[in-house]
Chains A and B, each alone.
Chain A
Amino acid sequence: DGGITQSPKYLFRKEGQNVTLSCEQNLNHDAMYWYRQDPGQGLRLIYYSQIVNDFQKGDIAEGYSVSREKKESFPLTVTSAQKNPTAFYLCASSSVPGQPQHFGDGTRLSIL
């Protein structure tokens, strides 16, 4: 079955450490997205990519970085510059603009 795989499901970060969240899709979708979810705030867009080797900042990109070297993969790095990284991170993909986005099962990041 096609879908989006996020790993790990749970991740812990020490102060000053960078961590990378994995997102892989086998839906052959061109566009991929990263969202951050905090209680009571809905989902906020961090970064998105329409095609390989190209990506744009979303609404809350500070303290995060991404790469898109392959169509299937869109990893997110949470850097030490992100002062409040504790959240649930969701990856999504879509085939064309205006089409619904498919979501992975998320990664929950916590600070040690």
Chain B
Amino acid sequence: AQSVTQLDSQVPVFEEAPVELRCNYSSSVSVYLFWYVQYPNQGLQLLLKYLSGSTLVKGINGFEAEFNKSQTSFHLRKPSVHISDTAEYFCAVILYNTDKLIFGTGTRLQVFP
């Protein structure tokens, strides 16, 4: 069965420090990969996506992620975080040629001054 694992439920970090949010998936078929951000009491906003091509994907707000097929990972990174990056981050996959998003359980990023 396909699944998405976000190993860290919470990640505390100081402002201007780098951060990595981890995401691993399991699937026997090709997938598309996504990261979403959710601010309190709001919907989800797409940060970045990997459909094909270069494995290093750049998104909005200075975030980037790297697709590693051999390790079935899609970790999200930012070299220097801001207080405004405090939010919940969700990794998600769509199986190739389907339209059902499978979400991880989310990682809460807390940025401290």
Contact = CB atoms under 8 A, between A and B. Distances in A.
Interface of A: 4, 6, 31, 33, 40-45, 48, 50, 58, 90, 92, 94, 96-98, 100-106, 108
Contacts of B42: 105-106
Given A40-B9, A42-B104, A42-B106, A97 B97 contact: yes
Contacts of B104: 42
B105 to A, nearest CB: 4
A3 to B, nearest CB: 10
Nearest to A39: B106
A18 B41 CA distance: 23
Contacts of A101: 101
Interface of B: 9, 32, 34, 36, 41-46, 49, 51, 90, 94, 96-101, 103-106
B109 to A, nearest CB: 15
B34 A48 contact: no
Contacts of B43: 4, 6, 90, 92, 103-106
A33 B65 CA distance: 26
Given A42-B90, A100-B34, A100-B49, A48 B44 contact: no
A43 B97 contact: no
Nearest to A108: B41
Contact of B46 (A4, A44, A50, A100): A100
B105 A48 contact: no
Contact of B99 (A4, A6, A41, A98): A98
A103 B45 CA distance: 7
Given A103-B45, A104-B43, A106-B42, A94 B99 contact: yes
A42 B103 contact: yes
B51 to A, nearest CB: 7
